[in-house]
Amino acid sequence: MSRSLMRAVLCLLLLVIAPGLQAETWGGEPTPDGQPPVPASRLDSTADHREFAELKVPFETGPQVTRACLKCHTEAARQVQENIHWSWDYRQPETGQRLGKRNVINNLCLMVPGNEPRCTSCHTGYGWEGPDYDLTLEENVDCLACHDTTGTYVKFPTGAGHPPLEDRTFQGELIEAPDLNHVARNVGKTSRETCGACHFEGGGGDAVKHGDLDSSLLDPPRSVDVHMSPQGGDFSCATCHEFSGHRQEASRYHINADPQAGIAIPGRRNERPSCESCHGHTPHDPRIHNKLNRHADFIACQTCHVPELARGGRSTKTLWDWSTAGRLDEQGRPVVETNAEGRVTYHGKKGSMEWAEDVPPVYRWFNGNMRYTLPGETIDPSGPVNINTPEGTPRAEGSRIWPFKIMAGRQPYDQVHQTLLPAKLFGPGEEAFWTGYDWDQALAAGVEAAREAGHEDLRFSGEYGFVETRMYWPVNHMVAPAEDSMGCAQCHGQDGRLEDLPGGYIPGRDRHPWIERAGWWAVGGVSLLVLLHGALRLILYRRERRAIWGR
């Protein structure tokens, strides 16, 4: 390679890496004028954004900030726009299904279309209010949601991704408008706080959705997450979830369940993170039989090393029953009931909820592909409908036993077309359920919005019911210290963790009923025979002795 070419490559590399290399070590108290102190040493970046003239002009809105960012970071917006964080659209290459938040139905708030300003408060952009949103407009990209280091930047919960431009309240809570100039001048690397603002709060609140992602991970004790704990690895999210050119590889929709073929090395190749990336394929002391390492061939690390979900002191939602929603008090306000922890167990807007802490996951064979029941797909309303089904074959190559949080639901479906239904929940009009409390209108409006968003095979007959559903959330986080991982007998036994795992034979759990019955009968029979035989001999022997010796 010629020297000039090498220089060019190096420059290119720097261009790619530099935006991520912001100062991590801005420290100390802010100066009296509210500006952080000038970092004394160990600058991780070659640029101090506080010096940039572009960031000193007053910003009124988010897009104005983005335009300023893009003056230097010319490619950033287009990079973001290729990411699922932006598109909410993902073609799963192995199942061929069109997934992503835009396309799936879940059993939490059902579906995005029709509810945009609320749902898109977690979009990495500004202003997604409906089907006409321009996903190519660069100034719509929200740089600050991920790159804020001040902790003051916030997207308003019903603002379609915009921050509050003046102080506003939401559900009785004051949400202060961020000083966009201050935030823009203090951008940096992503952090647990920036990722967590959406990923910890998924499903409408802290710990609701995932069970293995909640705000306890901001500062977890070692027992909750050995990697993210300051007493452990002190990782941020991006330590494993590496982004390159604003893209991360794959997503929850397409998991690399069995990274046997090749493992990603962070910092070298931009690949999907896996435990094996750092720990290798044989992380356990082999001892006599190497059984733990052999187990890793067909059991995901998380299965033993994430013994329970929601261990951080925050309960996660395990059931959402929409069928009971709609109860209002005498003033016409939704009835709200809470449990001792303060979690909502009934809400007139949402129905009945159940919550749990320290939840044992359920386990399935999983090859990394999730098959979704998409809008318009026919369901069998008689039994629990799987919103998504982990694909996998017992003992097959590429499949491993994987832990999942099961989210149980009861949600509207069309009794004539036999499909799951979206609903318009949020909005000012009477057709929104949270305003009008009328399912007929809300479902019709939800279907209409979904059709406008491209789900044209979805129809509403006017006949609806509520169907039980199950959703599988793959568990990857809250890895416990080794000493807290699961023991053998927790799976190898009766009524153990793998009791309802379909397929395969698990020593200690499984037995053939006939062999067991015949075997124990044979053992009992021969024992009885031996006892009778011996007893008879003893009696006869004594009788004979008495006859001879008279005693």
Partner 1 sequence: MTEVRVFTLFERFWHWAQAAIIFGLLFTGLEIHGTHQLLGYDLAFSTHVVLAWCLIALTAFAIFWHLVTGEWHQYLPSYHGIWPMVLYYTYGIFSGEHKPYTTTPAAKHNPLQRLAYFGFKAAIAPALWLSGLILLFDAWWRGTVVDQVISFAAVAYVHVAATFAMMVFIIAHVYLAATTGHPWYAYLKSMVTGYKEMD
Q: Which two tokens stand for residue 523?
A: 């053992």
Which contiguous run of DSSP H or E holds residue 269?
Answer: none
CB-nearer residue toward partner 1: 268 or 287: 287
Residue 340 as a binder of partner 1 (CB under 8 A): the answer is no
Residue 482 Cβ, how far from partner 1 at the closest point, in Å? 14
Place of tokens 């949601």: 145
Of 39-47, 77-85, 419-427, 532-540, which segment contacts partner 1 by CB under 8 A? 532-540
Beta strand segments in 192-350, E: 316-321, 336-338, 344-347
Residue 487 as a binder of partner 1 (CB under 8 A): the answer is yes
CB-nearer residue toward partner 1: 240 or 301: 301
Site for partner 1 in 385-424 (CB under 8 A): 395-397
Residue from 204, 384, 481, 504 in contact with partner 1 (CB under 8 A)? 504
What track of x and - describes contact with partner 1 for positions 282 through 311 (by CB under 8 A)? -----xxx-x--x--xx-------------
Count of chain residues binding partner 1 (CB under 8 A): 40
Residue from 75, 91, 463, 505 in contact with partner 1 (CB under 8 A)? 505
CB-nearer residue toward partner 1: 333 or 533: 533
Distance CA 30, CA 48 (A): 16
> 456 by DSSP, 3-state: which?
coil
Q: What is the 3-state secondary structure (H, E, C) of 420-442?
A: ECCCCCCCCCCCCHHHHCCHHHH
Residue from 93, 230, 465, 534 in contact with partner 1 (CB under 8 A)? 534
> 279 by DSSP, 3-state: which?
helix
Residue from 100, 131, 233, 493 in contact with partner 1 (CB under 8 A)? 493
- Cβ atoms of 117 and 158 within 8 Å: the answer is yes
Residue 301 Cβ, how far from partner 1 at the closest point, in Å? 16
CB atoms within 10 A of CB 501: 17
| Count of residues in the chain | 551
Residue 519 as a binder of partner 1 (CB under 8 A): the answer is yes
Residue 537 as a binder of partner 1 (CB under 8 A): the answer is yes
Q: Which two tokens stand for residue 14?
A: 């720097």
Residue from 71, 281, 333, 512 in contact with partner 1 (CB under 8 A)? 512
DSSP codes, 71-96: HHSTTHHHHHHTSHHHH--EE-TTT-
Of 268-276, 325-333, 338-346, 483-491, which segment contacts partner 1 by CB under 8 A? 483-491
- The H helix count followed by the E strand count for the chain is 15, 15
Residue 528 Cβ, how far from partner 1 at the closest point, in Å? 10
What track of x and - describes contact with partner 1 for positions 23 through 62 (by CB under 8 A)? ----------------------------------------
Distance CA 25, CA 279 (A): 28
| CA neighbor of 107 nearest in space, from 467, 477, 476, 475 | 467
CB-nearer residue toward partner 1: 58 or 513: 513
Q: Which two tokens stand for residue 283?
A: 């992380």
Residue 502 as a binder of partner 1 (CB under 8 A): the answer is no
Residue 281 as a binder of partner 1 (CB under 8 A): the answer is no
Residue 489 as a binder of partner 1 (CB under 8 A): the answer is yes
Site for partner 1 in 142-161 (CB under 8 A): none
Residue 136 as a binder of partner 1 (CB under 8 A): the answer is no
DSSP codes, 257-312: --TTS----TTTS-----HHHHH-S--S--TTT-HHHHHHHHB-HHHHH--SB--S
DSSP codes, 245-262: TTB-S-BTTB----TTS-
CB-nearer residue toward partner 1: 17 or 489: 489
Distance CA 461, CA 26 (A): 59
Q: Which two tokens stand for residue 528?
A: 């009885």
Residue from 56, 333, 533, 542 in contact with partner 1 (CB under 8 A)? 533
Q: Is the dihedral of CA 287, 290, 293, 295 positive or negative?
A: negative
CB-nearer residue toward partner 1: 338 or 527: 527
Q: Is the dihedral of CA 262, 267, 273, 277 positive or negative?
A: positive
Residue from 530, 535, 542, 545 in contact with partner 1 (CB under 8 A)? 530
Distance CA 406, CA 471 (A): 6
> Euclidean distance between the first and final Cα of the chain, in Å?
110
How would you label 316-350 residue by residue, b for 16+ Cβ within 10 Å and e otherwise? Answer: bbbbbbbbebbbeeeeeebeeeeeeeebbebbbbb
Alpha-helical segments (H) within 350-465: 433-436, 439-452
Q: What is the DSSP letter of 38?
A: P
CB-nearer residue toward partner 1: 7 or 512: 512
Residue 511 as a binder of partner 1 (CB under 8 A): the answer is yes
Q: Is the dihedral of CA 225, 226, 232, 237 positive or negative?
A: negative
Residue 522 Cβ, how far from partner 1 at the closest point, in Å? 5
CB-nearer residue toward partner 1: 170 or 521: 521
Residue 530 Cβ, how far from partner 1 at the closest point, in Å? 4
CB-nearer residue toward partner 1: 430 or 510: 510
Residue 15 as a binder of partner 1 (CB under 8 A): the answer is no
Residue 535 as a binder of partner 1 (CB under 8 A): the answer is no
Residue 291 Cβ, how far from partner 1 at the closest point, in Å? 7
Residue 285 Cβ, how far from partner 1 at the closest point, in Å? 12
Could you list the residues that contact partner 1 (CB under 8 A)?
A: 287-289, 291, 294, 297-298, 395-397, 487-489, 492-494, 504-505, 507-512, 515-516, 518-520, 522-523, 526-527, 530, 533-534, 536-537, 540, 544
